[in-house]
């Protein structure tokens, strides 16, 4: 038996959109449905929360889908699932893990799940993550809606002269739906650092001065690729720890996983309700959301 081969996204001669098309075709084939509707990326601490959305109808190991590989982080699951959204007849494509920029596989690998979600027919994507919080009122286990981001990776998933508008990247419509579900939800600006080290206290102070409320190592690049693809984006962070220097405790990955476990109830309920609301609400047309221009 030979190892399954996967296209090398990082090779400049590879077309990332055709790999996403191939991945979408495998997902359609394996799940028996031509299209999925809502995609979810489950970040640190969100692992169990997909279960409340509905029945899992199919589980596909990542390495059986073109362009995907096994998870690199302990505590992240290397599968994607096709999940019934309650009784709506719609389907969620739930990624149990993501590729992080710090893994060094390039930006194309980071956003491949997003492009595959588009190829699989999704019109909405919910990006979740575990992160550090700057607001001392946000104890470990607090979910916070992402209102906007600051991308400190010094890179972009967009190739060529495509000037994508990022105004209202994190859909006000979807944030309103989330507030309907949980009126107590706070919002914040997410700052993506490269990682994999956590920030120094000085870097956390800098993030605050820049207007950030949350610090993490994901989501922003994915959100940009989602906007380019015309997907409507919702971002939800789970504050698993106070950012470095905000509390006097050192940061540990074990603590992150622990906070996720503790918050699974509230976050799972929130996510399930939000996805149900998304599925039963009518989305604006792609034309009004896709914002690529080539004439800037």
Give me the numbers of helices (H) and strands (E) for the chain, helices first please.
7, 11
**Contact criterion met (CB below 8 Å) for 74 and 44:** no
Binding mask 175-194 for ligand 8IG (x = CB under 6 A): ------------------x-
Site membership for ligand 8IG, residue 203 (CB under 6 A): no
Binding mask 37-76 for ligand 8IG (x = CB under 6 A): -------x--------------------------------
Joined together, the tokens standing for residue 144 give: 């916070």
Joined together, the tokens standing for residue 271 give: 């996510």
Catalytic residue status for 222: no
| Cβ atoms within 10 Å of 160's Cβ, excluding its own | 6
**Considering only CA atoms, which of 274, 263, 82, 33 is closest in space to residue 177?**
274
Place of tokens 């399954």: 4
The stretch among 31-39, 128-136, 271-279, 287-295 that binds ligand 8IG (CB under 6 A) is 128-136
Nearest approach, Cβ of 138 to ligand 8IG (angstroms)?
12
24, 47, 132, 143: which one binds ligand 8IG (CB under 6 A): 132
Cβ closer to ligand 8IG: 228 or 240?
240
113, 216, 220, 225: which one binds ligand 8IG (CB under 6 A): 216
Site membership for ligand 8IG, residue 217 (CB under 6 A): yes
Cβ closer to ligand 8IG: 85 or 207?
207
Helix axes 107-119, 16-31, angle to 10 degrees: 50
Torsion, Cα of 189, 193, 197, 199 (10° steps) = -50
Joined together, the tokens standing for residue 183 give: 């009126």
**Is 196 in a helix, a strand, or coil?**
coil
174, 256, 272, 275: which one binds ligand 8IG (CB under 6 A): 256
Residue number with the smallest Cβ distance to ligand 8IG: 132
Joined together, the tokens standing for residue 65 give: 């889908």
DSSP bridge pairs for 237: 129, 144
Cβ closer to ligand 8IG: 217 or 236?
217
CA distance 213 to 220: 14
Select which of 199, 203, 222, 232 is catalytic. 199
95, 101, 170, 198: which one binds ligand 8IG (CB under 6 A): 198
Report the interface residues with ligand 8IG, using CB under 6 A. 44, 130-132, 193, 195, 198-199, 215-217, 240-241, 243, 251, 256
Q: Which residues does the annotation mark as catalytic?
A: 199
């Amino acid at each position: 038996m030979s190892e399954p081969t996967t296209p090398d996204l990082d090779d400049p001669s590879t077309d990332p959109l055709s790999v996403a098309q191939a991945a979408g075709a495998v997902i359609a084939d394996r799940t028996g449905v031509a299209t999925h509707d809502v995609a979810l990326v489950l970040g640190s601490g969100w692992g169990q929360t997909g279960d409340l959305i509905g029945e899992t109808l199919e589980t596909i190991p990542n390495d059986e889908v073109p362009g995907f590989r096994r998870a690199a982080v302990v505590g992240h699951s290397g599968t994607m699932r096709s999940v019934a959204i309650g009784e709506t007849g719609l389907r969620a494509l739930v990624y149990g893990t993501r590729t992080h920029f710090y893994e060094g596989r390039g930006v194309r690998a980071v956003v491949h799940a997003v492009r595959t979600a588009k190829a699989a027919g999704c019109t909405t994507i919910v990006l979740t993550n575990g992160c550090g919080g700057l607001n001392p009122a946000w104890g470990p286990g607090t979910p916070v809606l992402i209102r906007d981001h600051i991308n400190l990776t010094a890179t972009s998933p967009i190739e060529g002269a495509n000037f994508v508008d990022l105004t209202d990247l994190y859909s006000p419509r979807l944030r309103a739906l989330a507030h309907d579900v949980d009126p107590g939800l706070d919002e914040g600006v997410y700052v993506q650092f490269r990682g994999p080290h956590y920030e120094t206290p000085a870097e956390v102070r800098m993030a605050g001065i820049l207007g950030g409320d949350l610090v993490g190592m994901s989501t922003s690049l994915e959100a940009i690729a989602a906007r380019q693809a015309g997907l409507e984006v919702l971002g939800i962070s789970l504050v698993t720890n106070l950012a470095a220097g905000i509390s006097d405790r050192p940061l540990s990955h074990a603590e992150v996983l622990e906070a996720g476990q503790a918050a699974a109830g509230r976050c799972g309920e929130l996510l399930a309700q939000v996805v149900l609301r998304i599925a039963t609400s009518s989305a604006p047309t792609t034309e009004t959301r896709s914002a690529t221009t080539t004439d800037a």
